[in-house]
Amino acid sequence: MKIIKPTLIVNKDRVMKNILAMKQKVENSPGQIRFRPHFKTHQSAQIGQWFRDSGITSIAVSSVDMASYFAQNGWEDITIAVLVNPLEIEVINQLAKTFFLDLNLLVDSREIVTLLNNELKHPVKLWIKIDTGYHRTGVTWDQKDDILGIVNAIKRSPRLHFRGLLTHAGHSYKAASSKEIKGIYDDTVSKMNEVREYLEKKGFSNIEISIGDTPTCSIVNKFYGIDEVRCGNFVFYDVMQFFLGTCQEENIAAAVACPVMARYPQRNEIVIYGGAVHLSKDSITGKNNQKIFGLVTLPQNDNQEWGPIIKDTYVSRLTQEHGIIKTDSEFIKQINIGDILMILPVHSCLAANLLKIAPGGQNP
Amino acid sequence: MKIIKPTLIVNKDRVMKNILAMKQKVENSPGQIRFRPHFKTHQSAQIGQWFRDSGITSIAVSSVDMASYFAQNGWEDITIAVLVNPLEIEVINQLAKTFFLDLNLLVDSREIVTLLNNELKHPVKLWIKIDTGYHRTGVTWDQKDDILGIVNAIKRSPRLHFRGLLTHAGHSYKAASSKEIKGIYDDTVSKMNEVREYLEKKGFSNIEISIGDTPTCSIVNKFYGIDEVRCGNFVFYDVMQFFLGTCQEENIAAAVACPVMARYPQRNEIVIYGGAVHLSKDSITGKNNQKIFGLVTLPQNDNQEWGPIIKDTYVSRLTQEHGIIKTDSEFIKQINIGDILMILPVHSCLAANLLKIAPGGQNP
């Protein structure tokens, strides 16, 4: 496969393994749990099709535009897993009138429930976003009166159907160990169930619980105490998850193929065509406190796959179009200008958003 | 102007002032200096037209694709201001055969000069990239034998025309003061002229010197010792330049209009629709060691302009679609869900790359 500029390469075998592993864990867990993978990671109809081929029918997305795109590609059960943006109510109405579409929206205030009741022309299902510790959006889990107020407001509306409680335990990305990540799962489930029990005591029933971050979903052996799993990053994983210990190297299913533009043996650095507009500026901190913007592998199988991570070698800096790789005198000897290096991205969602997956999903 | 999702807003008056100020500084400097603005910041034919209306005829770009785009839009003197990527030689040949186009390329090794001599079918002009301290690409300025070797290789080729020495003093972005930035300018010019004098002693003449980073170009009162100015970011400037002291607040000419999705008075935080896929994850460190991903202003003139920077208020975190603004109890009182906030980006080049400027350049 000929590559001349930075290109996202997806390893379909690994993607399918990642999908099936998560799906089987959901199915092997007690109770009836729905698997609703988050499609913001790949944003691709073709990779969506691979999920469909695996038996998946429910998805989450992170924008109204993404919901429209996947609805046009035949998906019939979609959660827009960000709070309703009242400025997009017209577009949401367009989507909601699609006769086959089960549209799920998120709210965390009575104000937005009132607005939806007044402005929506078609029925939708609502989840209440709960903050269990990440502190991005959501009603704080122990503000039970506020939560009850929102449920009551939903129940009063003929067009709004209350479906349940949804949280994103994104603080799991800051955890220092697998044990801590497991602790965040337990804590999240405990808080969410406390809210559910409170609402049940107030007379409500059939309240679902939806959770979603890839770290906790990857670490737990079996899910319990929930009704829906909504993770997304697991489809590709990336260097951030690998450093967190939530995946193995062989789970990483997306890499950015980058041409070598220059090599500087005197400072053991290689410069690639592949920068902030290809990999994103997301970084992690390495053991020696160094910033890491990607790990380095060599291409295999005609640029369609890649080999093991090269030791003592990493993307140390990014400018708009360039990446600067720090390495050692051994590795730099093997590399020539015009070679391709396969960079494992720190955050695959952002790299895939920048580079886009080709329509049809084929590697180029 | 109706805005429903994150949208790049460009203030044309400020853009024109920024262009004219830099152009006049170039023209008021002694000697005949060429102004070759870098178009990677805006990547827009329409904003390019504003430069053309100001009398600019030479430009720099950061990829072969960008060169093709601007050539199609009538630009006739283009420097691809990154090292030649040998894998793109076919596309470069397509460009180089355009009869009206003056195509300038960068090299920093004899290896690539040999490749260009062997594979290029049409004449191009070459600049040698010199490293004067940034340590990204380029021959180190004091490796004069290497530089001479490259010049000799260029001179032996009938299709390659040696034009001069080019550097990017990107280390100016790390400077702690205006004085230090001015020092980097002086040091850069001194090193580049030492190389030029060396080559002149070896019998070469008409060697131009091209420099380019926005911090030094903004700080110097008059240019000296150079033949070409190649900065790009100055067209919009941004929070990074503002913190560096290389622009005033009223020079910042691009903002991202973001809907307010949620407000949390208990923690003085506002959540906007506007995240890493809109603003990029580039950040700066504030006075209290806090990470800053953008500053906050209020819209004016029907969302086409913005007011002064709100004090004690900044974008403190970004996830894929969300930004979390830290503020105080006074400001949060004024803000409602569905309002628009105008975020001044930390790095305007990356925000413009993510959000694109609408064809025609009009604000939406």
Closest-CA residue of A relative to B92 is: A4
Q: Do A261 and B88 touch (CB under 8 A)?
A: no
Residues of A in contact with B267 (CB under 8 A): 135
Cα B195 off chain centre by: 25
pLDDT, one tens digit per residue, over A15-34 is 999 999 999 999 999 999 99
Same CATH fold, B249-355 and B12-236? no
When the pLDDT of each residue in chain A is averaged and rounded to a whole number, the result is 96
Per the CB < 8 Å rule, is B266 touching A5?
no
Q: Is the pLDDT reported for residue B10 higher than 60?
A: yes
Q: What one-character DSSP code corresponds to residue B163?
A: E
| Percent of chain B surpassing pLDDT 90 | 97
At residue A126, the pLDDT reads 98
Contact B281 A277 (CB under 8 A): no
- Residue to mutate among B264, B292, B356, with most A CBs inside 10 A, is B264
Predicted model pTM: 0.95
**Closest chain B residue by Cα to residue A263:** B137
Ramachandran bin of A299, using left for φ above 0, alpha for ψ from -120 to 50, beta for the remaining angles = beta
**A238 at B interface, C-beta within 8 A:** no
Give the chain B residue whose CA is nearest to the CA of A131: B264
Measured in angstroms, the CA of A159 and the nearest CA of chain B are apart by 21
Task: Give the whole-angstrom CA distance, residue A136 versus residue A158.
Answer: 30
Q: Look up residue A253 and give its two tokens.
A: 């299913």
Q: Which of A261, A320, A353 sits opposite B40 (nearest CB)?
A: A320
Q: What is the separation, in whole angstroms, between the first and last Cα of chain B?
A: 7
Q: Is A364's pLDDT higher than 60?
A: no
Nearest to A281 among B5, B63, B282 (CB): B282
Nearest CA in chain B to A85: B261
Chain A residues closer than 8 Å to B319 by CB: 136, 170
Instruction: Count residue pairs from A and B with Cβ separation < 8 A.
Output: 126
| Domain chopping of chain B, boundaries | 12-236, 249-355
Q: Is the pLDDT of residue B307 over 70?
A: yes
The reply to whether A350 touches chain B by the CB within 8 Å rule is yes
B5 and A82 within 8 Å at the Cβ level: the answer is no
| B residues 290-349 lying closer than 8 A (beta carbon) to A | 317, 319-322, 324, 337-338, 349
Q: Do B276 and A273 touch (CB under 8 A)?
A: no
The Cα of B39 is separated from the nearest Cα of chain A by a number of Å equal to: 12
* CB-closest option in A62, A108, A319 to B262: A108
A169, pLDDT greater than 80: yes
- pLDDT tier for residue B149 given thresholds of 50, 70 and 90: very high
In chain B, which among 148-167 make CB contacts under 8 A with chain A? Answer: none
Grade residue B357 by pLDDT with cuts at 50, 70 and 90.
confident
| B contacts of A170 (beta carbons < 8 Å) | 319
Banded model confidence at residue B324, pLDDT cuts 50, 70, 90? very high
Q: Would you place residue B91 in the very low, low, confident or very high pLDDT band (cuts 50, 70, 90)?
A: very high
Q: Would you call A119 an interface residue with chain B, using a CB distance cutoff of 8 Å? A: no
| Architecture of the domain spanning A12-237 | Alpha-Beta Barrel (3.20)
Which of B85, B170, B262 has its CB closest to that of A137?
B262
- pLDDT beyond 80 at B364: no
Contacts for B201-206: CB closer than 8 Å, 24+ residues apart: B202/B148, B202/B151, B204/B151, B204/B155, B204/B162
- CB spacing of A40 vs B4 below 8 angstroms: no
| Residue scoring higher pLDDT (B193 or B363) | B193
pLDDT of residue B43: 96
The per-residue pLDDT for range A102-155, each reduced to its tens digit, is: 999 999 999 999 999 999 999 999 999 999 999 999 999 999 999 999 999 999
pLDDT level of residue B163 (50, 70, 90 thresholds): very high
CATH 3.40.50.720 for domain A249-355, yes or no, is no
Three-state SS string across A97-109, please?
CCCCCEEEEEECC
Residues 45-74 of A with CB under 8 A from B: 62-65
User: What b-and-e string marks burial along B282-305, b requiring 16 or more CB atoms within 10 Å of the CB?
Assistant: bbbeeeeeeebbbbbbbbeeebeb
Q: Could you give the CA distance from residue A351 to residue A34 in angstroms, rounded to a whole number?
A: 28
CB contact under 8 A, B4 and A109: no
Question: Residue B360's pLDDT band (boundaries 50, 70, 90)?
Answer: low
Tell me chain B's radius of gyration from C-alpha atoms.
22
Task: Give percent of chain A with pLDDT exceeding 70.
Answer: 98
**What does the CA dihedral B153, B158, B159, B162 come to, rounded to 10 degrees?**
50
What's the count of helices (H) and strands (E) in chain B, helices before strands? 12, 20
Task: Report the pLDDT value the prediction gives residue A98, as an integer from 0 to 100.
Answer: 87
User: Which residues in chain B are closer than 8 Å to A273, comparing Cβ atoms?
Assistant: 82, 85
* Chain B residue whose CA is closest to A92: B4
| Candidates B38, B270, B281, partner chain A, best to mutate (most A CBs within 10 A) | B281
**Predicted confidence band at B314 (pLDDT cuts at 50, 70, 90)?**
very high
> For B262, which residue in chain A has the nearest alpha carbon?
A137
Of A261, A276, A324, the CB nearest to B85: A261
Mean pLDDT over A93-100 rounds to 91
User: How far apart are the CA of A308 and the nearest CA of chain B, in angstroms?
Assistant: 24
pLDDT of residue A181 exceeding 60, the answer is: yes
pLDDT at B362: 57
The residues pairing with B8 across neighbouring beta strands, listed in sequence order, are B256
Q: How far is B152 from chain A (nearest CA, A)?
A: 20
- Examine the predicted complex and report whether its ipTM is higher than 0.85: yes
pLDDT tens-digit profile of A197-225?
A: 999 999 999 999 999 999 999 999 999 99
* Token couple for A292: 């890491």
Contact A317 B40 (CB under 8 A): no
CB contact under 8 Å between A140 and B108, yes or no, is no
Interface of A with B in 240-279 (CB under 8 A): 259, 261-262, 266-267, 269, 271, 273, 276-277
pLDDT at A233: 98
Q: Identity (one letter) of the amino acid at A335?
A: I
Closest CA to B9 of B300, B208, B315, B335: B300
A-interface mutation test, from B92, B134, B136, B258, most A Cβ less than 10 A away: B136
Q: Residue with structure tokens 């000069």?
A: B113
Q: Give yes or no for a contact between B81 and B170, defined as CB atoms under 8 angstroms apart.
A: no
Q: Which residues of B touch A83 (CB under 8 A)?
A: 261-262, 271
What confidence score (pLDDT) does residue B359 get?
62
HSE value, Cβ hemisphere, 13 Å, CA-based, for B305:
10
Decide if pLDDT at A36 tops 90: yes
- B274 contacts in chain A (CB < 8 Å): none
- Do B324 and A136 lie within an 8 Å CB cutoff? yes
Q: Check if CATH label 3.20.20.10 holds for domain B12-236.
A: yes
Q: Do B320 and A353 touch (CB under 8 A)?
A: yes
Average pLDDT on B17-32 reads 97
What is the structure's pLDDT at A363? 58
pLDDT at B246: 97
pLDDT at B330: 97
pLDDT number for residue A359: 63
> Does the beta-carbon distance from A87 to B338 stay under 8 Å?
yes
pLDDT at A241: 98
Average pLDDT over residues A261-279: 97
Nearest CB partner across the interface for A273, out of B85, B91, B262: B85
d(CA B353, CA B63): 13
> For the packed helices B110-119 and B89-96, what is the interaxial angle rounded to 10 degrees?
60
- Distance in angstroms (rounded) separating the CA atoms of residues A6 and A11: 16
